[in-house]
Amino acid sequence: MPRQEVLEKTKLSDRMFLFKPCVGSNKYPGLITASIEFCRKLGIELVTSDDQTCCGGFLTFTNVAQPTSTMPAVARNIAVAEEMGLDILTLCNGCHTFLTEFSHFMNDRPPVKNVVNVILSMIGREYKGSQDIYHSLEIIYKLKERIRANVTRSLSAMRFATHYGCHYLNGFKKTALDDPHMPTIMEELIEAMGGEIAEYGENRTCCGTGLTQIIINKEDLSLPHTKMKLDNLNAAEPDAVVVVCPYCLAQVDRMQQKLNYRGSGKYRVPVIHLVQLVALALGVDMVKLGFEAHAISFKNFLKKFDSIHSKAGVHDG
């Protein structure tokens, strides 16, 4: 159940700054194009900027750069959106966490904000803290009824498992749009687009990236954890699993390939970001969804999807 007060605070505007995620640009480019296209269909223009870099917060929490280095790097990225007077839409649990946590940290501590701005003034920028930072789940949920009214390719008879990831719900347990233990907002969205839910027990466990564990303890921790999650997921027989973070997407998609390659089982569940799913239901051009960049094929998924639609006599735009 969404928290009403968070939902009320979420502001929709006609133009928003799309904060491009690294993984979502250079590994899964469909996230960017799908977001731009489905928002256009709903009357929202997403603006991007080449002045935006990696959010920068990742480097702090992986301990390769001190917070004193990454704070100005994060503030610089937010300043790029502020200069355009736009609120920020993030597609990644990580970007969302770092932008939000660091901006709160600076807003609550004027001396820190001042020091950051001394550095930013040397590059001709300023961090004001004037714009809102949103997770794509918040904006998409806010658009739920508009989405429902604009579905041209219903997801009916398709079964979806959900994976919320860690950092949005757990990290913001008091301020996120939904409760971290039993969230339902993604399920509500899928149902609003006509889809069905495949429930599984390990829904709320980490994808296994573990921020650094995929790098520092891949064989011992990350991979076995992902395998455990995937085995549980497979038993629910979903047509696809829906995520809201490109890191989760990369882990669940690519580790299936790895486990298959190593002969550790048969893993064939396509992984789809919520923005791609919404774009699919709203009839965005298939090329713009970027399924071709995924390691696990969407062939069976699309076959089933198309056969349902041709039976129903629905024309796929």
Partner 1 sequence: MHETNKEWLPGFDKKFAELTHQMVKDLEKCLQCGKCTGQCPAAKLSSYNPREIIRDLRMGNVEKVISSHELWLCFFCSGCYAVCPRDINFPFAVSMLRYAALAQGYGWEEVKKIKDPYAQDYYSTGLSVNVNERNLGVRKEIAKNSGTDGRIETVRRKMGLPPKRRVSERAMSEIKFIADATGMTDLFKEINKKKAKEKKWNYGSPADMVKVKKGANQKFIDVEDEEKEKIC
In the complex, the smallest distance separating the C-beta of residue 29 from partner 1, rounded to whole angstroms, is 5
Instruction: Report how many helices (DSSP H) and strands (DSSP E) the chain contains, helices first.
Output: 15, 8
Minimum distance from CB of 69 to partner 1 (Å)?
A: 4
Tokens of 296: 């696990």
> Can you tell me the distance from the alpha carbon of 40 to that of 44, in angstroms, rounded to the nearest whole number?
5
Which lies closer to partner 1 via its Cβ, residue 122 or residue 149? 122
Which C-beta is closer to partner 1: that of 38 or that of 247?
247
Tally Cβ neighbours within 10 Å of residue 179.
15
Considering the complex, what minimum distance in angstroms separates the CB of residue 82 from partner 1? 15
Task: Give least dist CB 296 to partner 1, A.
Answer: 7
For residues 92 and 143, which CB has a smaller minimum distance to partner 1 in the complex?
A: 92
Phi then psi dihedrals of residue 272, to 5 deg: -130, 135
Q: Which residues contact residue 199 at a Cβ distance below 8 angstroms, ignoring those fewer than 6 apart?
A: 161, 236
Neighbours of 27 (CB within 10 A): 18
Choose between 235 and 287: whose C-beta lies nearer to partner 1.
287
Residue 18 class from Cβ within 10 Å (0-12 exposed, 13-18 middle, 19+ buried)? buried
* Nearer Cβ to partner 1 (23/78): 23
Write down the least CB distance from residue 31 to partner 1, Å: 11
DSSP state of 218: I
Residue type, 178: D
Which C-beta is closer to partner 1: that of 82 or that of 143? 82
For residue 172, how many other CB atoms are within 10 A of its CB?
19
Tokens of 103: 């901006």
**Shortest distance, CB of residue 275 to partner 1, whole angstroms?**
14
Q: Which residue has the tokens 């505007």?
A: 13
Q: Please, what is the minimum distance in Å from the beta carbon of residue 101 to partner 1? A: 9
- The whole-angstrom separation of Cα 84 and Cα 58 is 25
Cβ proximity to partner 1: between 94 and 195 the closer is 94
- The CA-atom distances, in angstroms, between 212 and each of 23, 63, 174 are 15, 10, 25
Q: Read off the DSSP letter of residue 270.
A: -
Nearest-approach distance from CB 149 to partner 1, in angstroms: 28
What is the distance between the terminal CA atoms of the chain, rounded to a whole angstrom? 33
Q: Are strands 15-19 and 271-273 parallel, antiparallel or unpaired?
A: unpaired
For partner 1, give the closer residue by CB, 29 or 283: 29
